[in-house]
Amino acid sequence: MDALLTAQRQDEIFDVVNDRDEVTGQATRREVHKQKLRHRSIHAIVFGSDGRVFLQKRSMLKDSSPGRWDASCSGHLNSGEDYDTAVVRELEEEIGLTVSEASGLERLFKLEAGVETGWEFVWIYRLKSDGPFVLHPAEIERGDWFTTEEVTRGMAQRPKEFTKPFRVIWARVMAGGE
C-alpha cells in the first residue's frame, strides 16, 4: 500500500516498558495494542500567537480513535527512541512542522500508562507556531484552530468527538497541571 495512504504499520516495533517506564522488551504495534502492553507516546499542543490551539481530526484510516479530534500532534515512540526525539519527528511527519529553538518546544507533564491512555506513558509538549501546516493525509483528516473555550465547551457537550487521552490531557492543561 502507498505510504501516503497508510496511517500506521502493524509491524512497527515499539519498546515495551514496565510500570516505571523502563524498557523490558520490544513488540509490534499489533501485539502491544492487542495485549495491552505498556509502551510510550507523545502529544504536542500547538498554540498560535493569538492564543488559539491547533487540533487535528484523526483520519478514518487510524486503528484507534478514527475521526476524533486530538492534540495538534500525537504518536508512538519507535523502539530505542526517546520522548524528545519522537516529538520532533512526529511534528515533522504529521503536520510538517520543523521544530527550532524559536518554537519554544517545552515539556509540560507526563501521564502514567493506564486504561485512559491506551497503556501508554505519554509526555505532553507545548509550543507556539502559526503554521502553515502540511497535514499527513493518511494520519489526519483535517485540522483547525480553536479558542481554549471552544475546546473545553466541545469536550463538555460532545466528549466522544475527542480522543480519550486528549480529554485527560486537556483537562490537566486547563487546570495548569504542569
pLDDT tens-digit series, residues 126-158: 999 998 999 998 889 999 999 999 999 999 999
- The pLDDT confidence band at residue 3, using thresholds 50, 70 and 90, is very low
CA-closest candidate to residue 167, choices 90, 91, 68, 34: 68
Mean pLDDT for 18-33 is 95
Predicted confidence (pLDDT) at residue 16 exceeds the cutoff of 90: yes
Residue-wise pLDDT tens digits, 61-118: 777 777 899 999 999 999 999 999 999 999 999 999 998 766 789 999 999 999 999 9
**pLDDT on residue 60:** 85
Give the DSSP letter string of 33-55.
HHTT--EEEEEEEEE-TTS-EEE
CA-closest candidate to residue 72, choices 145, 171, 156: 145
- Integer Cα distance of 58 and 44 in angstroms: 14
Q: What domains sit in the chain, N to C, each tagged with a CATH number?
A: 3-174 (3.90.79.10)
**Amino acid occupying residue 53:** V
For CA atoms 133, 10, 123, 25, the dihedral sign is negative
**pLDDT on residue 176:** 80
Tell me the pTM: 0.89
- Integer Cα distance of 107 and 109 in angstroms: 6
Predicted confidence (pLDDT) at residue 4 exceeds the cutoff of 50: no
- Choose between 59 and 110: higher pLDDT: 110
**pLDDT on residue 101:** 65
Q: At what angle do helices 164-174 and 148-157 cross, to 10 degrees?
A: 130
Cβ 46 vs Cβ 128: under 8 Å? yes
**Amino acid occupying residue 55:** L
Cβ 103 vs Cβ 111: under 8 Å? no
Kind and range of the H or E element at 125?
A: strand 120-128
**Amino acid occupying residue 116:** E
**pLDDT on residue 102:** 63
CA-closest candidate to residue 169, choices 59, 42, 82, 21: 42
Predicted confidence (pLDDT) at residue 7 exceeds the cutoff of 70: no
